[in-house]
Structure 1
């Protein structure tokens, strides 16, 4: 890659300073860093991150580390020197979390929540709040790159540059932190047969590793499988590699604590045979696999803290699930039938998503929220997600039960609450929620709703996904006045309603438009949407007369507009 000029290098470094460290310049450092980086963009970005939370004392450290610019090239000395400097200033716990990225493949988008849960299961962090802090610090230091989508105002995950990943893997190999399948398959592995601690296997081309190298993996504590378990000669790769002489190979790994099989699509239920023998297992990630049932004896995993079975073929949980008394996170899809005695699992802190398809399932959720009558202790539940996709249509009885449910939620729950596919007629029952009650409230309404429903939306809502049949100026003003709204996905279900919507944000919006229409302006004059960061608008008709005024949506970071080009007037 061609090196940057001196001016471009300086501008990039100053921009990265402002993004990573919040400083414009630190006397004595800029020139030294530019000499070390020698115009290499990646080195410049990482170097700026190295001064995160640092001050002038770093100048002396950098001066002692100076190397001649003639000695540098992109792939070795220059970037590597900067990476070593950046790594050296990390605290010991963050260093371990950073090295953990070596289990993931190049060009992978790593989900933040998954990563933090894995860190926790490995004992690298003391809680999710600390994990969040470490994740953000690595972003601020430009060692990982945040990845955003339109489902959250904060980063949903991250990616890592290939050069940085190579650097991490070299350190990880030196410290025997992670062993990858390619090294083990080629014979490059630790001398002691029981010293492989964390093993990452690319299942697309290393399907025989678990059986051919079983003796070298008996002491491993973590197994991550990367890639699809592609079919070969009528057998999935797991069918080949996960059994030895008819016996499930999993049963041999007695010390394993983390089993991450996410997105191993052709992994099926029979490949989990013997898993009940992994008595130290803390994390079981089966998201995106082909399993259709869990082993009946899964309740014997007394140390299990995280069970992720989202996006699978699973339809019900086995009866023994309630034996997982240490389970902290139960992650399922709304279609999975839950047991009605989940309330006995007192350790649960996150349950999502519970499918509410009957009045009795409402009572099941309420039982999970109420303190146990024997102990009187409050529940530990911090994250609760429910889906009303299968709930009976609106009636006097269902409305009464939903109202009672929300009253119980208001009385006993103060964590993050995710409400999916709620019928618009039930929104009025949310009036019992108190201001600042929830850490986060996400609401997705089912189908198009009348504009009058907007009047009933609680002011607590942070994320809102709503489709309205006919937007009115008053309704949009009410949306704009929601004090905590940071993400809005709004669908206009009726033709020509975009004009009303835009007019609702502006203060007058006069002027003519094509076909007798007025021009409508999104303006910030009345402080509409003061905290909105993500705005997605879908118009099922054309987008005509759309104009953003100065100061509109002052904190907006991401904007997505979807409309029919055929019905749109361009000028």
Structure 2
């Protein structure tokens, strides 16, 4: 019906009128500690990792104390039972008559309980009328209502009547028709395939019929990518980059011709978006989708198909036991398993054929990695109980391609990590690792290395010629060999979070030289935090660069070398004392599509902007100027 969409629209439009705000999804299997920690993090602005507490009651007290004298706005989305609401509501002080709470639920007695707690009112969301149904349908298929061909108008009306004003049904059907030949005969076939399912029952059963049509219309490679989403929990935010890397590691997507595997993965991601099977969640400042979500009803469908085809074995919550699945497991996902139950749940399963293992909501009992002899993908992200000793046998997983340890408390990697010759992705962000083992440079197939920016690299980085993404480099703590070797990474496409504050002239020259070399190889994206020494570079050669983001430092003028970036498409820059000449420099960039310019104009505050310059006409301008 669009409950979450409506609540989120109101939230996005009004939240900044309040002192603090939060949007939290509860779902059918709520983890109360995680929910309360997220609320505390969002309203207070603290990092999630700093919100740990000993009990639910302590977290409630912390949230209540923080909000006590503040005007707040909170959305609590997708509540399934009164008991869950009875706990969450205790976190919100009722002393402020100007604060607001919005809840969404599909259950009447939950809605009444929410309203009685704070003297609220129930809004029963209505189905779309035919005018708005038609608007949604045509917007997704054509540019406007007027662009619908006359020979398709009658059949469109008939299809919309079957959808009965359900937004999710309209989106799913329009996604299916977007990939169907635009003939009356083909659209009639789709209409007849729907049958009378939605006319008989406008709830889950009817939607499953619609989703089945969408699913069986997918090409085989997209079906596989879609089924993989069953490993994610309800209401999860799914990062696009990580999802695509996992698809590649699983072997779903391969390089073809001049296109990299990642570029083909992006096509798959965008196709699922266009078909309405996943929903955009977060976009960056350039409007590019960075993460997605799967609607609850669609996730239920994906899980049922995944279980039916023994694609993924899910254990935990929601309860899917081994009784209805094959004992031979290919992909294992433990979701929400309570303390000490992981070994019991895994009993009777044949783990030697497991290719992919994912743990959700940090279990207290980590299965021995020795059992997973053919593992390709190991995701232990935010597994809070993971310790260094759990990784002792990881070097025996010779087929491992993907290893995610983000958000765990490990402090070091095994010294022989270099034995994992097939490893392609290693994510160590938000861990306690401060130094990488010397053997890591032997990972000759590693394409994506993501670390915190306080991690020290060993000598020999130049050996890692497969690297395409490197995230988290604080230049001044690195050995001189690393600064020089960085420029020899001929396949490096993305250099993210490079902190460039070098204390010696020698180190400064080394990093500038390496950047220039990267800029003539394959470097496409650079996110950098720089010292003022970079401003004075006359010829920083970055001819291949398409995306440049310079953070935190405000330049007194646009650096001279920026004018030489002939292939630059996206630029983020801070300039204090912005002058007309600076705009002329930027306007002369021939490939520039997106400009995010933050800063203060020069003293007279008058600037002239010619929208049509030698650059490509901008799709997006963001000028944040004071004065």
TM-score with structure 2 setting the length: 0.70
Give me the whole-angstrom Cα distance separating, in 2, the residues matched to 1:455 and 1:345. Answer: 29
Given that residues 453 and 472 in structure 2 are in contact (C-alpha distance below 8 angstroms), is that contact kept between their aligned partners in structure 1?
yes
Cα displacement string for residues 469-516 of structure 1 (whole angstroms, at most 9, x for unaligned residues): 322233234334434444444433x6xx48866x32447xxxxxxxxx
Match of 2:280, SS state, is strand
Match of 1:442, SS state, is strand
Which structure 1 residue ranges, 5 or more long, are not aligned? Answer: 230-236, 244-248, 372-378, 508-523, 544-571
Cα displacement string for residues 436-489 of structure 1 (whole angstroms, at most 9, x for unaligned residues): x23x33231552221263675543444434333322233234334434444444
Give me the whole-angstrom Cα distance separating, in 2, the residues matched to 1:442 and 1:58. Answer: 46
Give me the whole-angstrom Cα distance separating, in 2, the residues matched to 1:264 and 1:182. Answer: 15
| 1:33-44 map, 5 Å | 33-44=159-170
1:450 alignment partner in structure 2: 556
**2:475 corresponds to 1:475:** no
Given that residues 255 and 280 in structure 1 are in contact (C-alpha distance below 8 angstroms), is that contact kept between their aligned partners in structure 2?
yes
Query: Which of 401, 405, 408 is the matching residue for 1:289?
Result: 408
1:304 alignment partner in structure 2: 423
Given that residues 423 and 446 in structure 1 are in contact (C-alpha distance below 8 angstroms), is that contact kept between their aligned partners in structure 2?
no
Deviation at residue 125 of structure 1 after TM alignment: 1.0
Give me the whole-angstrom Cα distance separating, in 1, the residues matched to 2:325 and 2:232. Answer: 24
1:316 alignment partner in structure 2: 435
Cα displacement string for residues 268-322 of structure 1 (whole angstroms, at most 9, x for unaligned residues): 3233232122222111011222221111222222221211112222111112212
Given that residues 494 and 525 in structure 2 are in contact (C-alpha distance below 8 angstroms), is that contact kept between their aligned partners in structure 1?
yes
Query: Which of 514, 517, 521 is the matching residue for 1:405?
Result: 514
2:23 alignment partner in structure 1: none
Which structure 2 residue ranges, 5 or more long, are not aligned? Answer: 2-125, 255-260
Which deviates more, 156-165 or 12-21? 12-21
Instruction: Go from structure 1 to structure 2 and tell me whether the alpha carbon gap of 1:370 and 1:70 turns closer, same or farther (over 3 Å shift).
Output: closer
Match of 2:459, SS state, is coil
Give me the whole-angstrom Cα distance separating, in 1, the residues matched to 2:350 and 2:145. Answer: 42
Deviation at residue 364 of structure 1 after TM alignment: 2.8
Which deviates more, 4-13 or 95-104? 4-13
Given that residues 185 and 209 in structure 1 are in contact (C-alpha distance below 8 angstroms), is that contact kept between their aligned partners in structure 2?
no
**Number of residue pairs the alignment of both structures matches:** 491
Instruction: Go from structure 1 to structure 2 and tell me whether the alpha carbon gap of 1:80 and 1:465 turns closer, same or farther (over 3 Å shift).
Output: same
Deviation at residue 95 of structure 1 after TM alignment: 0.5
Match of 2:471, SS state, is strand
1:424 alignment partner in structure 2: 532
| 1:44-443 map, 5 Å | 44-55=170-181, 56=183, 57-68=185-196, 71-126=199-254, 127-182=261-316, 187-190=321-324, 192-193=326-327, 195-203=328-336, 205=338, 208-210=341-343, 212-218=345-351, 219-227=353-361, 229=362, 237-238=363-364, 241-242=365-366, 249-357=368-476, 361=480, 363-370=481-488, 379-385=490-496, 387-392=498-503, 400-411=509-520, 413-429=521-537, 431-433=539-541, 435=543, 437-438=544-545, 440-443=546-549
Query: Which of 14, 19, 32 is the matching residue for 2:138?
Result: 14
Match of 1:34, SS state, is helix
Deviation at residue 251 of structure 1 after TM alignment: 2.0
Given that residues 21 and 140 in structure 1 are in contact (C-alpha distance below 8 angstroms), is that contact kept between their aligned partners in structure 2?
no
Cα displacement string for residues 152-176 of structure 1 (whole angstroms, at most 9, x for unaligned residues): 4411111111111111111111111
Deviation at residue 390 of structure 1 after TM alignment: 4.2
TM-score with structure 1 setting the length: 0.77
Cα displacement string for residues 377-420 of structure 1 (whole angstroms, at most 9, x for unaligned residues): xx443333461344227x5x566445533443344x12324141
Deviation at residue 11 of structure 1 after TM alignment: 1.9
Give me the whole-angstrom Cα distance separating, in 2, the residues matched to 1:128 and 1:410. Answer: 20
Given that residues 17 and 23 in structure 1 are in contact (C-alpha distance below 8 angstroms), is that contact kept between their aligned partners in structure 2?
no
Deviation at residue 212 of structure 1 after TM alignment: 4.2
Match of 1:54, SS state, is coil
1:4 alignment partner in structure 2: 128
1:567 alignment partner in structure 2: none
Instruction: Go from structure 1 to structure 2 and tell me whether the alpha carbon gap of 1:169 and 1:450 turns closer, same or farther (over 3 Å shift).
Output: same
Given that residues 474 and 504 in structure 1 are in contact (C-alpha distance below 8 angstroms), is that contact kept between their aligned partners in structure 2?
no
Deviation at residue 151 of structure 1 after TM alignment: 4.5
Greater share of helix: 2
Which deviates more, 105-114 or 466-475? 466-475
Cα displacement string for residues 24-62 of structure 1 (whole angstroms, at most 9, x for unaligned residues): 346254133213312211101111110123221522422
Instruction: Go from structure 1 to structure 2 and tell me whether the alpha carbon gap of 1:223 and 1:17 turns closer, same or farther (over 3 Å shift).
Output: same
Instruction: Go from structure 1 to structure 2 and tell me whether the alpha carbon gap of 1:487 and 1:313 turns closer, same or farther (over 3 Å shift).
Output: farther
Given that residues 548 and 571 in structure 2 are in contact (C-alpha distance below 8 angstroms), is that contact kept between their aligned partners in structure 1?
yes
Give me the whole-angstrom Cα distance separating, in 2, the residues matched to 1:416 and 1:171. Answer: 39
